[in-house]
Amino acid sequence: MKKLISIVVPVYNEQENIQAVYTRISAAMSGSTYEILFVNDGSTDMTGGIIEDIVAQDKKVKYIEFSRNFSKEMAVTAGIQVSRGDAIVTLDADLQHPPELLPEFIACWEQGAEMVIGVRDIDVHESFVKRVGSRIFYKIINVIGDIEFVPRSTDFRLIDRRVADEFNKFTERNRITRGILDWVGFKKKHVIFRVAERSRGTSSYSNRKLFKLALSAVISHSTFPLRIIGYLGAFITFFSAVLGLFIIVEDILLGDPFGLNISGTAMIAVLILFLIGVVIMWLGLIAFYMLNIQREVMNRPMYVIHHTRNVQKF
């Protein structure tokens, strides 16, 4: 039996691109057994209507519409959860991920790769801020993170059914799809491609939004100040410990050779400073763990579906 390929496309206000992305995917996939799953992430333009028209004519096209904008990460998550394919490809709707590469991705998969990752070629047109920002992001996340992120890897990916099944077991809310997919492992293959200019419309990710996304991947927005507090506590602890050691050695052990005449009050002040430092440092640490727990305990649904078309699983 021929293998089924699911192509998941998250869409948010992409009215000018839908028809083109549909046509190009269909052309690239002709001859294969496939389904295209559009996940409409609460678009406010004509996107939904255009897809519904396509659905009416093409049984291979499936459709999910969120009740509001939940973010691309949630749209991709929903798409992977309802896909039935033996392999699932995620692809942006703005044609920055050329559908013509689909056969190459599928060939890699047929040769045994369980995950095929599109890696961006060096792009000379990329803005300075984006280039430096992305380099710093990968530096930091590879130092403090627990998995290796391949620089310039994108969301243009093919995953095997087995990877998708593992992905679907994840319940964490604050998610970066790429991060989870890198975490689950499996045999990977990279396909280098040239990112096309965004076909129409504007990117929903401004530098500011990208920075926010990066920050949430690294430390998450709200824990940053708490970490600063933790570091401040660590600094106070270290500073007063050095001061305390100096007092012990200079005054108590050596009998004040510098003639500093350190008062008892000063000694107590240093001791108190030290203890306060320890407390602040640990408060920062505890707050950080608590935030993680709170986020998981809240257990909100990851998305709410407005309606679906041709989808059996809901």
Query: Interface residues with Mg ion (CB under 5 A)?
Result: 94, 96
Strands 33-40 and 61-66: parallel
CB of 205 to ligand UDP, least distance (A): 4
Here's the x/- map for ligand UDP, 203-232, by CB under 6 A: it reads as xxx---------------------------
Which 3-state string (H, E, C) describes 100-158?
A: HHHHHHHHHHHCCCCEEEEEECCCCCCCHHHHHHHHHHHHHHHHHCCCCCCCCEEEEEE
- 72 or 188: CB nearest ligand UDP: 72
Here's the x/- map for ligand UDP, 57-86, by CB under 6 A: it reads as ------------x-xx--x-----------
- 93 or 106: CB nearest ligand UDP: 93
- 128 or 258: CB nearest ligand UDP: 128
- 10 or 99: CB nearest ligand UDP: 10
- 141 or 214: CB nearest ligand UDP: 214
Residue nearest to Mg ion (CB): 94
Using the contact rule CB under 6 A, the part of the chain among 24-32, 202-210, 227-235, 257-265 near ligand UDP is 202-210
- 15 or 240: CB nearest ligand UDP: 15
List 9's β-bridge partners, or say none. Answer: 38
Scan residues 136-155 and list those touching ligand UDP (CB under 6 A). none
Here's the x/- map for ligand UDP, 167-196, by CB under 6 A: it reads as ------------------------------
CB of 204 to ligand UDP, least distance (A): 4
- 18 or 164: CB nearest Mg ion: 18
CB of 120 to Mg ion, least distance (A): 11
Could you tell me how many residues of this chain bind ligand UDP (CB under 6 A)?
17
- Give the residues lining the site for ligand UDP (CB under 6 A): 10-12, 14, 41, 69, 71-72, 75, 92-94, 96, 198, 203-205
